[in-house]
Amino acid sequence: MLQISQAQYNDIVDHCQKQYPKEACGLLAGEPSLVANASLQVREVYPMRNVEDSPIGYSMDPREQLQVERKMRQRGQRLIGIYHSHTSTAAYPSSVDVGLALSPDLSYVLVSLKDASHPEIKSYRIDGTAVLPEPLEIKN
């Protein structure tokens, strides 16, 4: 299970809406967990710039990623997830998303802006070609 606060949820959705009609992307940081299958709590949301500047794809600037990864290490955090928006499709990983997935240990959070007035946000784990829904809890 992935847990995010209401404020973090709002930050993610706001970032995605501000980038519309282009896809938005970002990183999710948490604390290292020694317990397998433990719930992951997002500690910080790091909005990133989509260097593709595209409504149908995204990629992050490697230099910006490195800077954020350094911040995470300094703060005792680790990468626990990646989020991005889909501007006209459902909050479900595309075949490209599946092909680019880095690790089955990461959460892949998708924000659908297909209905911009009612954004849909869902989380998944991707293991090879298997897309596994992950419970997403929004806490106050």
Mean pLDDT of the chain: 94
Tens-place pLDDT, residues 41-75:
999 999 999 999 999 999 999 999 999 999 999 99
In the predicted model, what is the mean pLDDT of residues 127-134? 96
Residue 24: pLDDT band by 50, 70, 90 thresholds?
Answer: very high
Residue 36: pLDDT band by 50, 70, 90 thresholds?
Answer: low
Residue 4: pLDDT band by 50, 70, 90 thresholds?
Answer: very high
Work out how many domains the chain is built from and give that number.
Answer: 1
Query: What per-residue confidence (pLDDT) applies to 111?
Result: 98
Tens-place pLDDT, residues 95-120:
999 999 999 999 999 999 999 889 99
The domain containing residue 80 runs over which residues? 2-139
**Domain containing 52 — which CATH number?**
3.40.140.10
70 closest CA partner among 79, 60, 59, 80: 79
